[in-house]
Amino acid sequence: MSPTPTRSPKATTDQTAAEFERVRARLPDARSAYERAWLSLGRSLVSEYPSSAAFVRNRWEGQLHLLLCEVDRATADEIWRWLSGLDGRTTSVELHRGDWRERFLRGIPATFDAYFVSFDPNMYDRHNVRAPKPANMYPRDIAIVVAGIRGLPRVPLVLQVSTYSVNGANSQTDVLDDLVPQFANHGFTLAASVRADNAMMSMIFTRDMSVGSDLEPRFQSWLAGQTCDSVNGRVDR
């Protein structure tokens, strides 16, 4: 994903689009770490919807290595322009111009103190179809994910997988029932599942660390126009 993407016209059809727009309009009064980062990135990147990588670099204090995968040439060019402008003293980078599966099969650098691994496919399809769509994720892909991170040291690791559709008998409950055992078999715990609406959902898995299980109610409060103080857990109305 580009650090400065152009929002799709289809965004107006999202069930929670109106709530997002209302909260974004209140960012100048931001109280949460997420809102403060979004406000800062909106000014520095001039973007209404910065990428996860941009959020991580904004919030992480200290040395960071970014490994990003992008198959679309134009989007990869935008990513590279952003990466090239980062401070090389604090941020090392690698951009894989191609399918993420190809890169993960080569393994992930095993020299860091913590890891955040994020997948943002169009959807997770729990059926291994004969003609898989590269922009989707399937059960066969989870084996590639696990193989890619198998050699990493036992340090804190957060793994996020999102899905945006329930088509093809892939309800949110069915997706959870499919993914949780697969990751549990490799030492991961489901820390939280956050539903943005009846279709969009992000799942947070962890290994060798704990994450607050209140992410979904906090997110729903945020959508309702409230702000959550990420430091002490207080909800400010």
Query: What are the tens digits of pLDDT across the range 182-217?
Result: 999 999 999 999 998 899 999 999 999 988 888 899
What are 70's two structure tokens? 């992008």
- What percent of the chain shows pLDDT beyond 70? 89
Q: What is the CA radius of gyration of the chain?
A: 18
CB 151 within 8 A of CB 108: yes
What are 94's two structure tokens? 């690698």
Q: Which residues contact 86 (CB under 8 A, 6 or more apart)?
A: 57, 93
Q: What is the pTM of this model?
A: 0.86
- Whether residue 93 has pLDDT greater than 90: yes
Q: How far is CA 24 from the centre of its chain?
A: 19
The residue with greater pLDDT, 17 or 13, is 17
Mean pLDDT, the chain, as a whole number?
88
Q: Give me the amino acid identity at 46.
A: V
- Whether residue 228 has pLDDT greater than 70: no
DSSP 8-state symbol, 9: G
- Terminal CA-CA length for the chain: 33
Taking residue 209's Cβ as centre, other Cβ atoms within 10 Å add up to 12
Query: What are the tens digits of pLDDT across the range 134-174?
Result: 999 999 999 999 999 988 999 999 999 999 999 999 999 99
